[in-house]
Amino acid sequence: MKINILFEDKDYVVIDKPVGLIVHSDGKREEPTVADWMLETYPKTKDVGEPIVLTDGRILLRPGIVHRIDRDTSGTLILCKNQKAFLALKEQFKAKTVKKTYHAFVFGNVKEKEGIIDRPIGRSRKDFRMWSAQRGARGEMRDAVTEYRVLNTSKKASLVEAEPKTGRTHQIRVHFKAINHPLIADSLYAPNHQPVFGFERLALHALRISFVDMKGKMVTVEAPYPADFKKAVKEIEKEG
């Protein structure tokens, strides 16, 4: 399994997660995961983190994993090499001091060049896999805030930079759908939109992440654009 390491010290490793790779298993099917790579590359991390106990009693190890990004999202992911580092990073996520910056291509020309999407997120009524920030969502509505700015636009799409201030599942995807600009090639939240710019996967890239290391120093790591993002940037520049 080829995974590029963007940053590493004795406590943490930040990788550039490839598209199509899940962070850890759900216990339902066998496939390669970031957790497998972590265990293979750093065997001493076997007991780092918090395993999941499934309803059938099976235990899923999640070595060094404190946060996740979706299967079809590329980019920065922090992994912990020891339990002390894991607990310290977990606290930073809990305190919302980890800064995450994403780039995404969304459908349509986003008129407001910068803004804040402040819409609580609940479960979708129509599909158990989905979440919603629109009327009719069910269950507990949890606060969700995303700051964004538009980097480039054309008639059919916009390139946006988004900073989620909360960590809700699918937050960026759900928030941009709520303002009528769903992400390109999002089969779950924009199934009736024909993908543009050649995207064959969700047009979302975890560009940058900032956290405090065990010495108290702020670390910022950036993941380069993958090939499909580079191609799309050229196309939107041509059309804009």
DSSP string, 30-83: ---BHHHHHHHH-GGGTTSS--EE-TTS-EE--TTB-----TT-EEEEEEESSH
- Closest by CA to 230, choosing from 4, 34, 74, is 74
Structure token pair of residue 28: 């339902």
Those residues with Cβ within 8 angstroms of residue 153's Cβ, 6 or more apart along the chain or in another chain: 109, 110, 159, 236, 240
Per DSSP, 214 falls in state T
CA distances from 31 to 34, 41, 71, 154 (A): 10, 17, 12, 38
Question: Does residue 70 carry a catalytic annotation?
Answer: yes
Cβ distance 2 to 218 under 8 Å? no
The tokens for 102 are: 């994403």
- CA separation for the pair 214, 48 (Å, rounded): 16
> Could you identify the residue written with the tokens 């299967």?
71
Using DSSP's 3-state secondary structure scheme, residue 239 falls into: helix
Of the listed 16, 26, 36, 70, which one is catalytic?
Answer: 70
> What number of other Cβ atoms are within 10 A of residue 71's Cβ?
15
CA–CA dist 32, 47 (Å, integer): 19
- Residues classed as catalytic: 70
